[in-house]
Homo-oligomer: A and B are copies of this chain.
């Protein structure tokens, strides 16, 4: 008799975004004429840059001719893309990385979800609270947690990000072996300074733990002194892996390309204390369970680094960050307490009148016809908060803030 992976039964039934969709559908059914503006989900709205389109079409044409056709590529991605990544994203920031330390994939979601496979089930992992749910859920499915109770899983170390600590988590006091950090943060939009991040790297080095660093939003950093990569911190190559993505920077959410940097120095240990290279293990994982990213998609990603591509991507990011400014300043002017939105496309606001995050969701939808994301969906400490994103159109963003200012 085929038996279920019972860890799946620990997952709570209701997903955040399907519950949002359900409430929106119901409201629209009751108010068919309401002009809804969605600033909830973290999906981009601007088209792919022209340089990317041209490169991708050229690559598709290559696939149609016998002399330039490409079959299976390397599971870890083509060298031509890894080299461009290193030359443009890493070297200019003083980060050293070899071509075989860059693993191209179909998404940071897949990579952050799959990477935990390399670790034993007896590791203890830490996440910030609030947090991007994939880190936790993928570990639940693997069996690295206990049961779910009162919004938390047993055997998980939650690191609260609160108004009191400025949304910056404190170092864990108990033992942790794997630490998920995402900065600029989803959902709070907040960042760590170089000094703050260094404390994490030092802590990991002392404890031989590993930092799984999600840098998917690094391109939105506007301020100096905010590290774009954990590898800007001394010693990070010994203890960190970094996930990056073309999704939000170059509009690849529907095109699918990302990469993960796994330095050869990072080690995991067996029961006897012998170390094994995470880089070799991830290569083994990817060659066994993945078959590489579509060639035209990799060619498209490489075009992000052309002169034209870089200019166009910068325009995209400027566009979204102007939206972020409009939301942040608009909310503040309307009297709300706001985090993020300076170095990130996310704005994390405190709900007024001590409303629960779902109650504020309903009020905002009913009064202003604006849809956002209730903070409670990101963890217990997200309760009382609300996320808006800068990925809408300019017109909708302005109109949404106008409604919040006048109607709420």
Q: What is the interface of chain A, defined by CB distance below 8 A to chain B?
A: 1-6, 8-9, 11, 15, 41, 43-48, 50, 52-53, 56-57, 60-61, 63-66, 69-73, 106-107, 109-110, 113-114, 117-123, 134, 137-138, 141, 177-178, 207-210, 251, 253-256, 267-271, 273, 276, 281, 284-285, 287-297
Contact = CB atoms under 8 A, between A and B. Distances in A.
Nearest to A179: B2
A382 B165 CA distance: 62
B2 A119 contact: yes
Nearest to A108: B291
A294 B291 contact: no
Which 7 pairs from chain A and chain B are nearest by CB? A113-B289, A53-B64, A43-B71, A3-B120, A4-B268, A71-B253, A47-B69
Nearest to A107: B291
B291 A109 contact: yes
28 contacts: A2-B123, A2-B178, A2-B208, A2-B209, A3-B271, A4-B119, A5-B118, A5-B119, A8-B118, A8-B281, A9-B270, A43-B71, A44-B71, A48-B63, A53-B61, A57-B57, A57-B61, A63-B254, A63-B255, A73-B254, A107-B290, A109-B291, A134-B288, A141-B289, A253-B291, A254-B292, A255-B294, A294-B294
Contacts of A45: 66, 69, 71
A76 to B, nearest CB: 13
Contacts of A254: 63, 69-73, 292, 294-295
A44 B73 CA distance: 12
Contacts of A56: 60, 296
A241 to B, nearest CB: 11
A153 to B, nearest CB: 14
Contacts of A251: 69, 71
Contacts of A72: 41, 43, 253-254
A292 to B, nearest CB: 7
B109 A5 contact: no
